[in-house]
Structure 1
Amino acid sequence: MSGESESLESFLEKYYSSMVQKEFGNMGVSVLEDLIKGVRSIYQFIEPSICNFSIVVFKTLDENTEPIHRPEPFILDDYQLLTQIIDQECIIRLNANGQLHVWKHHQIDLSFLSKIAVVYQYNNRQECFFANSAFQRVPKLSASQASTFASDTFDELLQALDAYKTEQVRYSSCPILQEIWKESNRLFLKNAPEHYMRNSLTHFLKIRLRNYKEVRPEQVIDDSHPADIKVTWFLTNRLALIEIKWLGTSMKPDGNIAQKYTDYRAREGAKQLAEYLEGNLQQAPIHITRGYLVIIDCRRAKLTKMMTAINQRDGTYYRDQEINFDPCYHEKRRDFEKPIRMFVEPKCI
């Protein structure tokens, strides 16, 4: 991974050096090199995909220049501390002594700042470099990445979950997931099918996600609750906790109904995941953790225990019916991804 980072830095330095050279000469190119390395270091501890605000990073040509006089900045000696303080619009200055100066909820005129510094800005998944009157956008090397300078972690996981939904879940195409059904028409689930779902998704993510990650089922978050799946990306401070809840009707071996879970079960899962995330904050305060609620929706309309087949209307009744969450943890918490519902199609007559 370090080789890939060095190669990317070399490419980007060459890509922007002509612009900076034209505006600021050799001194500007040297500052650009430091800025690119600094931005990559910053994104080891800030996850841009969850930042819905602007991030400005700059380094001045003259170290003694003070472009921002008020308010007083946070002064950090360790990049790792960014994890705990960056939660809103910010400006970060790189200093020659290795310190970071951070201004939160502060804005500055980039046309002014770029006359005395090489400036980088991230805003809504778009990135630019500024030097004097010139600016240039950063090309996307991967469509899934929020930033070219950050590791592809949470965005890649979202893409993988979407692929799992369409490729494996919709028609129970995964051999492991096929084991959840009591009968071949996919009307009733077996009693307690959770472990099949967990094993299916774990297996898929181990194959789908790229290198430098570990995917493990049932990871303890606190004294009494395990998360269904935990994804850890090596050489980063990113963690993902995945909670799986199923909706539908399960049947005992004797043919009687075991459980019938409706949308309330999804809301319980959301509350449970929020509690896991709170517990994880205490256990791993310097990690950036994101929670994912995966809902395997196997509900069928007008289902009775004697049924062996179902028509199209009743079988797909819940396919497009989204679940209302209250509270909406994904809107209240920055670490809670919007719940992902995966409807499983029955075989219809």
Structure 2
Amino acid sequence: MRKKILITGASGFVGYHLVQAAREAGLEVHAAVRKTSDVSEIKSFVDQFVYPDFKDKDAIKGLLEQEQYTYVVHAAAMTRAKNEKDLVDVNVGYSQHLADAVFESKIPLERFVFISSLAAIGPVAYDADPITEQNEYRPVTAYGRSKVLAERMLDKHADSKLSIIRPTAVYGPKEKDLFILFKTLNAGFDAYIGKTPQKLTFVYVKDLAHAILNACFFDAGGKKVYNITDGFVYDRYEMATIFKKYSAKSLFRFHLPFTLVKGVARVMELAYKNSNSIPVLYPERLNELTAPSWACDISLSKENIQYRPNYDLDAGLKLTLQWYRDHKWL
């Protein structure tokens, strides 16, 4: 009899790859999605769709005890919102209802895995030591702050079967945020904000999916926390260099003054003030885009959950760009 896994946020970018990896691992996959979600691309990997109300802890408990899940992975999150309260309501409130339900339910739970973000820790100085799981919280965005609150909320379950995964910038097929950069590069423009050097980290989405499942399979005991990257550190030009290598595009590299970009970001924020949409660029977003260093130490994940990333940025981008071309995104 196959063990059951419940994956929230299954219709999203990471969720798509996670349900596929879970199916390949031999699990019975249940996907928690909204009733309005497009599930056409994941239905072949999913044994059952469920529609939990994350505002109702008792209803969640009913679902968990009915289905008797062995693993629960909470990948659903809100990354941007018009106001910070909405981020807190979803990323903290909904997560609390689910976590409380998981640990109060009578189920054969082996692991609850919560997907946080390196944004909760925030960047460090360029010459600082690589980020470890012991770094203090210093988020620079509302999203990062909401993840800090979620992680602190989970402290009450520190003695429970809980793993927290903090991925750095995630890329891969179907990703839409970094894709904006690829569209710009594809148009021949290699733009940067200022000239200050940076240390950047990335993780290919399939490696992240396997890290999450490894936390399910190999973690034991109380709360564990893992920062996840591909194990390498890149300068700010590496992504464009690799893009050029696999696209044979001629790129025009230029640097925009920080003050100019900040002004544009403020204008965009004002322009979208009465809109339901959120601009791609806004003042707080610059804190992440211009951060000195996201260099990270992943030795703990290698030791505890046997995390072995298979894709460096070159290998992952090659596959990602090919997917974008095959699916007419580029």
- Whether TM exceeds 0.5 here: the answer is no
TM-score by length of 2: 0.29
Q: Looking at secondary structure, tell me which structure has more strand per residue.
A: 1
Indicate the structure with greater helix content.
2
Q: Relative contact order (alpha carbons < 8 A, sep ≥ 6): 1 or 2 greater? A: 2
Tell me which structure has the larger Cα radius of gyration: 1
